[in-house]
């Protein structure tokens, strides 16, 4: 790209790191389906107006489907993003697949302690499909990363011109371009005609230090009708360091799973969330055996507004940092409001 010094001086510097995903996936004649082939430079070159929006630093970090992202990929991405800020970037954009986008965003948010924004985005339609949304999403993400009002909001997700907080956003449809929503709360902002508008403040959250290791595992169990509570003891025997349950309703368990969870809570942290997809767990409504009052009286923590997948990540991050039950409880309260 040819640009004058004057152009450069007046443009924000935004770093884009590409991890792969649908936005990067193309096929070739005779191939079945698409796979991740495009890197950061190819993605940026395909977006009209992107070069005018910012001075870009482009890096291809990986070319993988988001279901194959490991924690180490995200910690490497976190370190790279922080380095970009240290080298003068006003914001960082990460492109990845949408299947685990909400989880990646939340895990990074637990550790992102910089003033500048870290923005994640992806695409629901690959570049070879009619109405591909990747270019529009990438341009909007860069505009959000470059906007001064995006600072001190932690990690954001930009999809379909909506701006979401990492702890709120969820993928709620398999294929629609409007798949990403923030149930109950709605998006924190929007991009309209190239301008970023925020609808509410984002509260400051307690960030965690990057842990020296992340080997300890947390079980995520979706509770279902007449299921087998034996999985809890199997998990403990296998060395799992924590348990998160996607429970019935506002955070409830059957009597037999309740007994297994109460026994487990003596050994490891246990968090009860809701499997419903929207709403908070309750704290003092139901008193029967297996309901929230009973569970809390026996050491089980309630997940509040956090979805079970994000509660698993929070619990893992806390355990990796050596936090014990009381400190985990305080951290959970802060992030689950």
pLDDT in tens, 199-253: 999 999 999 999 999 999 999 999 999 999 999 999 999 999 999 999 999 999 9
Catalytic positions, please? 22
Q: Which of 331, 322, 326, 324 is nearest to 303 (CA)?
A: 331
pLDDT by position in tens, the chain (length 337): 344 444 445 899 999 999 999 988 888 776 778 877 888 999 899 899 999 999 999 999 999 999 999 999 999 999 999 999 999 999 999 999 999 999 999 999 999 999 999 999 999 998 988 999 999 999 999 999 999 999 999 999 999 999 999 999 999 999 999 999 999 999 999 999 999 999 999 999 999 999 999 999 999 999 999 999 999 999 999 999 999 999 999 999 999 999 999 999 999 999 999 999 999 999 999 999 999 999 999 999 999 999 999 999 999 999 999 999 999 999 999 999 9
| pTM for this model (two decimals) | 0.94
Q: What are the Cα distances from residue 108, in Å, to 113, 133, 180, 296? A: 10, 24, 18, 29
**Which domains occur in the chain, in start order?**
5-198 (3.40.50.1170), 218-335 (3.40.50.40)
Q: What is the token pair recorded at 141?
A: 């993400």
How many other C-beta atoms are found inside a 10 Å radius of the C-beta of residue 80?
A: 15
């Amino acid at each position: 790209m040819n640009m004058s010094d004057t152009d450069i001086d007046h443009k924000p510097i935004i770093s884009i790191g590409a991890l792969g995903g649908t936005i990067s996936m193309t096929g070739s004649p005779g191939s079945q389906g698409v796979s991740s082939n495009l890197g950061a430079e190819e993605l940026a070159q395909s977006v009209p107006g992107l070069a005018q929006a910012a001075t870009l630093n482009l890096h291809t970090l990986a070319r993988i489907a988001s279901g194959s992202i490991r924690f180490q990929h995200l910690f490497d991405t976190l370190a790279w993003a922080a380095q970009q800020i240290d080298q003068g970037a006003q914001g960082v954009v990460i492109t990845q697949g949408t299947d685990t986008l909400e989880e990646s965003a939340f895990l990074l948010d637990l550790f992102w302690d910089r003033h500048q924004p870290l923005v994640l985005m992806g695409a629901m339609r690959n570049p070879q499909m009619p109405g591909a949304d990747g270019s529009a999403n990438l341009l909007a993400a860069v505009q959000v990363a470059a906007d001064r009002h995006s600072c001190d909001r932690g990690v954001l997700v930009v999809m379909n011109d909506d701006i979401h907080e990492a702890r709120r956003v969820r993928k709620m449809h398999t294929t629609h371009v409007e798949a990403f929503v923030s149930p109950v709360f709605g998006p924190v902002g929007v991009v309209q005609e190239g301008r970023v508008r925020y609808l509410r403040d984002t509260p400051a959250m307690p960030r965690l230090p990057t842990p020296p290791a992340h080997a300890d595992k947390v079980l995520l169990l979706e509770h279902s009708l007449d299921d087998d509570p034996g999985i809890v003891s199997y998990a403990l025997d296998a060395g799992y360091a924590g348990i998160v349950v996607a429970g019935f309703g506002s955070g409830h368990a059957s009597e037999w799973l309740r007994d297994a969870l109460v026994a487990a809570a003596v050994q490891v942290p246990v968090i009860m969330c809701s499997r419903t997809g929207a709403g908070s767990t309750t704290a003092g409504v139901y008193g029967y055996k297996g309901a929230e009052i009973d569970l809390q009286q026996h050491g089980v923590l309630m997940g509040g507004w956090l979805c079970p997948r994000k509660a698993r990540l929070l619990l893992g991050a806390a355990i990796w940092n050596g936090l014990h039950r009381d400190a985990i409880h305080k951290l959970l309260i802060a992030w689950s409001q």
